Structure 1
Amino acid sequence: PEEFAAERLLVIHTDRSGDISKSMVEDARLVAREVDRPDSPVNAIVSVLMLREGWDVQNVTVVVGLRPYNAKANILPEQTIGRGLRRMFRDIAVDYTERVDIIGNKGFLSFVDQLEKEEDYALETFELGKDKLEIVTIAFDPDKLEMDISVPVLSPILQRKKTLAEEIAALDVRRFPGVPVLPVRAGDDAARKFTYEGRDIVTLEKLIQREYTIPEPQTAQEVISYYAKRIASDVKLPAQFASLVPKIREFLEEVAFGKKVDIETPEMVRAIATNVAQYVTVTSFAKALRGRLIEELTPALVQAGRLLSETPPFPFARDTFAARKTVFNLVAVENKFETRFAHFLEDANDVARFAKLPSRFGFTIDYVDAQGNLRYYEPDFVAVLLDGTHCLAETKGREDPDVKFKDRAAVIWCENATMLTGTIWRYLKVPQKEFEKLEPSDFADLGALVID
C-alpha cells in the first residue's frame, strides 16, 4: 500500500465544468507518459481525463465506468474499455500477459457482457463483497527439495543482425515476388484532403470542423527518403536508411511501373507518392528483408542446470493449490485449464515431479514470429517422469498465429538440451479441447496429442 500512497499517487481533480488549469494538464500528461520509468516518483494515476484528446496513454490498468452509459451508439463504453485494452508493453520480445481490471455500474457491465458474447470469450469476474482477494507468496518449500527440477541453460540459437547493409546491397529488386504493376497516374486530389471534426465525448456535440490539405512532395528524393524510413522502421533497423535509398530508387525506376521510368518528372513524383505506391514499395521491401533479419547460431551449454528452488519468492493473487509433487509451496496457475492440467500432473502415476514455471525463474525460448521478429516465450509447465525423461508442456486454449513457431522452437530447444546434457527432453503441446476429449490418466496418454 505504501507504494501507492502520498507522493506516489497522483489524483487529478477537475472542477464542475470538467476542466483543470492548463499548467496542471501539461504537468499531468508528462507524469502519465513517464509513470512506468524506474525513476518516476509516481507509481499510479487516478483521473477522469484519460478519454480526453491528448491523453494517448497505453498504461491504463484499471477502468472504472460510472456514467449512465445509456446511449444506443455505445461509443463511450467502447472507448472506455478500449483505453484499457491498449497494450502497455507492445514492443517487448517476451510474451507477457497484460491484464486490465474493469469495474462499473450495471449499464457499463452490460456492455462488457455483450462483448463477451460477441467475442465468444469469458472474462474472469470478481464480485465485490462476495469474493475475497487473497495475495499469497509463492516460494520453494525446504521440506520438498526432493521435488526440485534442474533446467539447463543453453546459449541462444537465434540472433538479430545488427546491420543488413550487405543483404540490402545483394537484393535483386527485379525478383521480388508478386509485385503488381503500378499505374502511371497522379494521386487522388480528394485523398490529399481530410476533414477534422472535434466532438464532445459525452454529448457527441460537434465543437469544431476544419478541412486540411496534405502538401504534395516536390521531388522523388523526398518520397524515397520517407519510404526508406518506413521500411527501416517496419523491420526495426533504423540504421539501414542509407543502404535502402538506392535500392528503393532502383525499384521505383525499373520495376514498380512495369517499365523503366524517370521518377524525377512532376507527373512521376505524384505517381510514386500515391498510397498504393507506398503500400507496394514498403510491403515488398519489408517482406524481402524480414527473412534476413535473424541468423542462426550453434547452441552451447552455458550452465548444466538451474534449480527451480533458486526462484526468488513472489506475490500471487490468482488461483493456487497445494501439491505434493512440486518444490513450491503452492502451484500458481493462470486459468482453469492450467488448474486442471496441474491436477492431472499431480495425479498421474508416471509423473515423478512437476512445476508451473514462474516468470520469476526467467526461463525463455527464443523464436521468430510470423512477422520475422525475434521473440521469447515462457513454457507453462516442466515435468520429470519416472523413467527420468524431462518434459516441457504448453497448455493451449485459443491459438494465435505464432503458436506453430513457438512449438517448433520448443522442439528444437529440447533436441539441443538432450544433445548437450545427455538427459532426454521432450516438448508437448496440450490443446484444451483435445485434452478434454482424451481424458488422460497418465502422462503417457498424452502421446496421442501430436504437434501439427
Structure 2
Amino acid sequence: MAAVERSARGPLEVESPIINSAFEEPHVHWEIRKNREPVKAAGRRPASYFFRVPERAERGRKVAKPKDLFGETEVGQEEPLDLVNQLRQRLQAWREGERTGRCYEGASPVTRELLALWRSPDRHQRLFFAQIEAAETILFLTEAAAPYQQGLPKLPLDEPGAEAKAQGARHFLRYACKMATGTGKTTVIGMLAAWSILNRVAAPKDDRFTDIILIVCPNVTIRERLQELDPARGDLSLYRTRQLVPAHRMEELRRGEVMIANWHRLAKKETSSVHQQPARVVKTGEPVAVMKNAGKANETCEVKYLESDRAWLKRIRQELGSGRGRAAQWMVFNDEAHHAYRRGGQLDAKEQVALDDDSALAVKNEREATVWIEGLDRINTLAGGGKSGKRGLCRCIDLSATPFYIQGSGNEVGRPFPWVVSDFGLLDAIESGLVKIPQLPTQDQSGDKEAAYFNIWRWVQQRAEQEGLGTTLTPELVMTYASTPIILLAQDWFTRFQDWEQRSKRRQKHPVPPVFIVVCRDTRLAKAVYAWLAQGEGGYGEAPDWFRNRPGEEVTVRIDSRVIEDIEAGGTKDETRRLRFILDSIGKPTWPGDKVPEDWAELVRKHNDKVANDEEDGSLRWIDERIPPGRDIRCIISVAMLTEGWDANTVTHIVGLRPFGSQLLCEQVVGRALRRQSYAVREDGSDQFAEETAKVFGVPFELVPFKVRKRREGPERPEPEHIFAVPEKDQYRIDFPIITGYQPSGSLQVHLDWAQVAQVTLDPMQIPQTVKMTSLTAPEGALSAFGPGQQPRLSLTEWRTRWRDQQVAFRLAREVCRVWQEEHGRDAVPVLPLFQQVLSAAQRFLSDRSKLVLKGDSQPCDLLAAGHYTQAAVWTLYEAIKRGADQQLRELPVIPRGASGQGSTAFVDFHSTKPTSPVEKCHLNAMVADTKKWEQSAGFALDIHPAVLRWVKNDHLGFLIPYRKQALVASYLPDFIAVLSNGLQLIIETKGQYNDDADIKAKAAERWVQAMNQLGEHGRWAYVLVDDPPALLLMLDRVC
C-alpha cells in the first residue's frame, strides 16, 4: 500500500467507506495516495502503523511552552507490522490445510469443536471476522503443527529490567491482539478463556493450557461488564449468550476458574496485626520507604509495611477466585493492555519530554503500569509453585485498540508493543462497517489549506499570535475562539436530536438523545466550558440552550480527571458513585432487566430524604430510582477521555479543546464516538452493515478515508415487528423432530485378507521390558552393578495385570477406525459397524501367533506399552481391510430425548425489522422475508394451493439439518416446511442459483429425509429444491 499523507485538501474523501462484510476477511481496501482520489484496491490491507516522531523527543529536553506537535511539515511514516503480516499468511495456510492437507493440523479435538461452532454460518448471532482471526492467531501459535510454524521469527518475550530481575522477576510469553474499538474484544477473551479451560479439562497434563484465568482491566466499569465471562453464570454468561461454547460443554467449563480484577486490586496492601493495628506500629510485613511531599520543604520519608509476595498471591486468589482451577500456571488477559507496560530507560528522570504538558497524566500512567506489571511478575514468579524454571504464566494475552507505548512509559511514544501478533485496526473496522464513520472538517471560508476546526487548538494558537495575545492559552482565551465551533457542531447535534425525538414519538417510546462530548485540556478549561454550556455563564456568546441544566433536569455533566480516576478505582464517595451510574447508563432508556441497582437505590433514598427536609429554596427535586440517571444526558464535558471500556453507542459529536501529541491519543478520543447502534445487515444482499456516522471537531485524526459530504443518516429503521404463534390458529401447528446426527443400522462386512496381515514381533531385546536399578555408589559417580543397597527391578509384570486381551483388542480397533476416518473422511463409512468388524479382526490378530510373535516373556498386552508396536499392529490391520468394506446399511436419525429433541411452531416468538407478509395456513401471525420477492411468492403459493394443509417458514423455528462442510460441523436451515393433504411432510428450499453449497445442503437434506423415513415414527418426509417460485405450484401438483 502506498504511504498515506494528508493532501492539500485535508483528509481524503471516499464515496462509500464500507466495502467489506464484518463476517468475512476483508477482500478489498481503500488505497489512499497523496493528492489523488482513493482507489479501491483488491486484497486485504497489509498490517502497518503510522509513526510521527514527537517534537523534541530526540533531544530529551524539557519543553517550557509545548507547541502543537502536528506541524504542516511533520508527516507520519508508515511502518509495516512484519510479524503480523507473516502470521496472517501462515494462519490462512493452517486454516486451509495447505501444507499438510488437513485443516487446523495439530489442533486438539476440543479446539476443532470450538472452531466449528465459532465459524458456523448458521449461528443466530455470527461472530465478526476480527474476533475469529484474533482467537485463531493465538490458537495457531499454541497448537499449529510444526510445518506451519517453521521459519517464523522468534516472538519477543516480555523481559523485565535489571532491577526487576534482581528481585526475582522473569520473562514470560506475551501476545498482543490489536482490535479497534467496537470489534468485540470481550468476546475474544471469552473465546480464548473457554478454549484454554476446556482443553485443560480434556488433557490435564497438557501445560499449553490452564484452567485458571485472570482478566485484568483498567477500571471498575469494565470489571463489572466482564462479569459475564464468569462460567458460573451458566446460560446468562457470554459463553452461552454469544454461543461461544456448546451447551454440553458448559459443565466442563464451570470446572475452570475465571478471576476478574481492575488493576488497582493488584497493588500490595499494608499489613495489619491483631486488633487491626497498623502494621507500621507493630512492624510486621515487608518495610517499604515512601516519600511524602516529595520536592517540598516538608519532604519526609515514611516506612510502610506491606504484605509479602506470597501473602499477596494468597489474598488475590482468595478474593478473586473460586478455587476450582487445578493447574499450576495461569493465563492472564490484559484488557486495554496499553496500560500494562514496563517502564523503559529511554528518558532520564530529569529530562522528561512534555509532549502534551500532561505531567499528571504521565504520573498516573506510570503508577498504573507499575502496579499492573509488578502484579503479573509476582504471579509469574509464584503461581507455578516458585520452582526453578517453572513459570506461573503460561501466556499473557493483550487486547487493545492501541497496543502502543503511551506517555510516561519511558519508551518511544507511539511505537507498538513488539509482541503484537494480530491486527484488525480502525481502517479495517471502518471498511467492514464495524464502527461509525468519523467525519472531520476539510474546508471552510478561510481559504487555508486546512480547515480551522480540524485542529481547534492549533487554530486558536495561530489566532492568538496573530492578534498579539501571546502564546499562553488561558481558558478564557480558548473559549473566546472555541465557542464558535462548539455552537456550529451543537447545531448539527440539535438537528439529529430532533430526528431522534420524532422517531421515538412515533414508536411511543421515551427519547434517548444523541450525546455531545467536549474533551478539554485541563480542569480550568472544563469548568469554563461547563459554566458556559450548562449554566449560561462566561460571556463567550450565547450557549446552545439545549445543553442548559435546570432544577430537576440535568442534561450536561462535567467529569474531571480525578473523578475519572476515582471511578476507575471503584471510589465510594456518593458523588463518584452518582457519576459512575450516569456514565454507565447513558443511552439506556431502562435499567437492564428492569432491575434497579441496589447502590443506585441507596443513593436515591439519601437524596430524596434531603428533598423531604429541604426548607430553603426548594431547588432539590425528587428522583425516580426506576429511571437510569444517564438516560437524558445530552452533553459530557471531560478532561480525560472518559472511562475506557465505556460502551455508550449514542455519541454522535465530539469537540477536542486540547493539543494532541500523537495519533494514538487521537484514536483513543475519537474511539469514544465510534461504537455502532445497530448491527443489522443491509437488505441489498451485500451482508454489510448500514452506515452510521460521528462528527468530530478539533481532533486531528488522520490517515483514514473520511466521509465529508452532507448526507442523510439513511432511512429510518422500522419498528421491530413481533412474530409469534397465534393460539387461535393451533390447527396449523407443525411439530417436527430435531436430529443431531445419524447412527447406522444393518451390517457391514469387512473382508480382511489375512495373508496380507504382516507379522508383528514383540522382542524384549529390541524394546526392553524389565529394568534393574541400582544406587550411585562409585567415588567418581558412575553406576555400579554390584554396589550396596537395594537394587530394585522394574518390569511390566504389574502393568500387565490391568489388561485383558479384550481390552487390548478394543484399543487396537479404535485406533484402526481413527486412521480410517483420517484417511477416508469421517462420513465415508459409518464408524460403528466398522468398529464391530475391526474389533473381531483385532481379536483374531492377538490370538494368532503367526501374526503376533511373542519373544521372551512378552504378552499381547505389551502392544500397548510401546508406540512402535501399537502402530505396527494398527497399520497392518488397516492395510489389510481398507478395501474390504462392503456396505449394505441403513441410517437411523439420532434424536435427543425430551424437549430438546422436539421442535414446534408453537415455540416461535421473536422480533424482526425485516419485511413481513400476511399468512393464512400458518400457525404464525406473519412471515418474515429474507428476500425481496422469492420467499414472498413461495409463501403465497403455499397459502393458496388446496393440497397444502399447513406450512411455516423456517425462521427462528429451530429446524436444522446437520451436515459437514470442509471438515467442520454445520447446520442447514431449509426455507419452508409444508404438510400436504396426502400426509407428506415437505421440506422446501428456494434457490435461484444451484452451486456447490446448494448441492451439499441438498444431499444433507436427502440424507435427513431417508433416515427419518427409515425410522418411520414421524410420518413421511420429502425434500424439494425449487429454482423458480412460480414452479412451486406445479411441483405441489406433482407430489400430491
**TM-score range normalised by the length of the shorter chain:** 0.3 to 0.5
TM-score using structure 1 length: 0.45
Which of the two has higher C-alpha Rg?
2
TM-score using structure 2 length: 0.21
